[in-house]
Amino acid sequence: MNFQTLSTSIRNIDQQELMNNFMVLGALTAVTIGEMYQQLRKVKFSTPYQLSDWFYFGVNLTRHCDKDDERFGVAIKDYYLGLYGQQLCWGQLDEKGCL
């Protein structure tokens, strides 16, 4: 492809059609991201009890999460880091699994 052919093909691009395609693609992306966000707001997950002595991971993205409920938590053996509402908690767990 030479320069003359390239410049002719660039001039032949319909700017309005290009903008319409970008708008449609943007709208589809926005709807997809919005739907994914709505589905993620239903997620509450934590590591099964059998594994939680060694490793724990928990996340709660539900809308009606209580301010005293864990939003995010991770623990390795006896060391824990968790987010409760607006408060970050960390420390070493006792023999009952409490901070």
Asked if pLDDT for residue 32 goes beyond 90, the answer is: yes
Q: Is residue 12 part of a domain?
A: yes
Q: Is residue 99 part of a domain?
A: no
Residues of the chain with pLDDT > 70, as a percent, come to 87
Instruction: Say if residue 24 is in the same domain as residue 64.
Output: no
Question: The domain containing residue 55 runs over which residues?
Answer: 44-92
- The mean predicted confidence, pLDDT, of the chain is 83
Q: What is the pTM of this model?
A: 0.55
Q: Is residue 69 part of a domain?
A: yes
Burial of 56 (0-12, 13-18, 19+ CB in 10 A): buried
Q: What is the mean pLDDT of residues 82-86?
A: 86
Strand partners, 14: none
Domains: count for the chain? 2
Instruction: Say if residue 34 is in the same domain as residue 50.
Output: no
